[in-house]
Structure 1
Amino acid sequence: MSNLEELTLFLKVIRTQLPYIDGTHLFNDILINMLLLNKFTFSINTHVLDGDVKIDLPTNNDIQNSFIKIGYKQVDSYVDVNLSKIGAKCHVYSLPYEFDTFFDLTNSFRRGNFDKVRCLAMHDIHPFEHDYFKIISQDFPFLQKLTVINSEPQKNKQHSSTLITFAQLNELYLMDVHIDYVEQFLFETNTRLPRLNYLTINYEPLAIVTNNFMNDAARFNCSQLRNIYICEPFVRPENFHSYFTSL
């Protein structure tokens, strides 16, 4: 590996009672032996399971500085330390972002140009608001697959008049979400999904938001669907197929 000229790392790491992976760790464990390395592309998600033993975790500035010290200035990162009992998270990545997948996006995300990303997973213990999804649609303009995990209700129920469009979104996963996010994505007054083909969702929130498949507000986005995955058994009402006209 000492003759390696290019290195690409895409990592999702779980650590127990150890700090985030930062520039210092990468240099001491890997890069120090790569004297010919001239291109290093990376995306590293670290999930720290702290347990009962409290450890000192670096700040976002600490993460940034650890890469600057080893000569990598085109780096961005964000950290989340208020994650209740599940520990803390850090995502650090080289710029420009070269991967087609982006994991563990939270409200701490620092924005940027992610036009190569096609698959995005969002997860937070704090609510994602309407205006935040607008940011996501702008920063990830070619997104095709979106997973949202968030059980917290939106605080700003009076959505702004700005309509959000995910022009390329083909697959949407809303299994582990508060019902607010079902309304956020299916109501045409909130979000337009002109290419939505595949939806994974629980039956109860789908039935509630669509008013038992009679609500016109969700009809446009639902009419595009060719595939719906609902994991639990249910009895289809009479107007189910007339609501999902492309099934």
Structure 2
Amino acid sequence: MRYLHYSTDNDEFIINAFFFQDDLPHLKCFSLTCYNGTRGYDNLIVPLLRRMSHVEELALYLHIFRGSTFISGTDLDNEILIYMPQLHMFTFYIDSINQIADPAIRASAADIEQTFKNIKYGPVVCMVDSFDSYCVRYRVFSLPTKFHRLEDIKNNIPNIVFNSVTHLKLRDTNAFKHEFFIRLARAFPFLKSLSISNIHRPFWRCDERHLRDKDWCSIIEYSHLIFLDVEGVNSYYLEHFLNETKAHLPSLTQLKVIYEVLKTVTENFTRDDMRRNCGRVKRLIVDYPIVYPENVYRYFPLL
């Protein structure tokens, strides 16, 4: 066995398929993708990787829970990479959720990126998000990106281009403004699936009202977006994406939405400025079974 890729949503495969085996001297390329969170990084994943002494290419995509300790470049080097003397290509995305004892003492993105300076496999970017005062999410990944999926992204996307990412989920308690979606379209030019969870509409202070009007001067295009999930959002976001004066969705064929919100935003399926973005939708996913009235089929002619 020279090449192995495994994608999993739990830890069982590590125990059943690998944990009781000997070293893996013939394995040259290994890729592990774990979409759901795991607590088995230290006691399952690290011991498994240490047995791959002849691996030359390694790719990791991991979501982990690791108590109070985040994954640093020093950790990766000392716990894994030092056991792989023949490794020459290492790409990774590691998303760790950590509990911290003192909110006043937490590592910044720059602090974590600094720990990767001695790793020879290319530049590394870190994103830091806070859920509350005692829970922090650290994401570290190599560039250029190789992964296709990102979840629970907040307003603070870094100023880089994620050419490989096609599936994205946004979630924040702070509102997403039009300026954010402009940056989003630039950062994820090949996005095919977008899910948004945000119940807050943007708020502008009195001295920011001119920004609200200025925002709508630019139409955002999501050229490759096929699937849009706006079921868990304030109606503002549905308006933002369906209104052709704000967004252009030439490839949209699937829309997931609350039916009554859709009915309200489209003014009972009569608004002309939304027909263009709705006209190519072939699948409408709503929150309860319904026999659509005739005006829905006129508004979505490809259903």
Q: Which residue of 1 aligns with 2:96?
A: 46
Contact 1:48 1:89 (8 Å CA) reproduced = yes
What's the offset of the Cα at 1:54? 4.1
Q: Which residue of 1 aligns with 2:31?
A: none
The amino acid of 2:115's aligned partner reads S
Unaligned runs of 5+ in 1: none
Q: Which residue of 2 aligns with 1:206?
A: 262
Contact 2:222 2:248 (8 Å CA) reproduced = yes
Moved more, 233-242 or 178-187: 233-242
1:229 is matched with which residue: 265, 271, 285?
285
What's the offset of the Cα at 1:168? 0.9
The amino acid of 1:178's aligned partner reads N
Hey, what's the Cα distance between the residues in 2 that align with 1:178 and 1:13? 30
The answer as to 2:171 corresponding to 1:115 is no
3-state secondary structure, aligned to 2:238 = helix
Task: Provide the identity percentage.
Answer: 34
1:189 is matched with which residue: 235, 242, 245?
245
RMSD: 2.0
What's the offset of the Cα at 1:190? 0.7
Contact 1:120 1:143 (8 Å CA) reproduced = yes
Q: Which residue of 1 aligns with 2:233?
A: 177
Q: Which residue of 1 aligns with 2:302?
A: 246
Contact 2:89 2:121 (8 Å CA) reproduced = no
What's the offset of the Cα at 1:238? 3.8
The amino acid of 1:162's aligned partner reads S
Contact 1:203 1:234 (8 Å CA) reproduced = no
Query: Who wins on radius of gyration, i.e. which is larger?
Result: 2
Contact 2:193 2:225 (8 Å CA) reproduced = yes
What's the offset of the Cα at 1:199? 0.8
Q: Deviations over 1:114-168 (max 9, x none)?
A: 2222112222222111111111112211111111122221235543301000011
Q: Which residue of 2 aligns with 1:139?
A: 187
Q: Deviations over 1:57-91 (max 9, x none)?
A: 3111111011114445501111012x237822122
- What's the TM-score once normalised by structure 2's chain length? 0.74
The answer as to 2:144 corresponding to 1:126 is no
The amino acid of 1:166's aligned partner reads Y
Change (3 A) 1:130 1:86: farther
Change (3 A) 1:180 1:85: farther
What's the offset of the Cα at 1:14? 2.9
Hey, what's the Cα distance between the residues in 1 that align with 2:134 and 2:181? 24
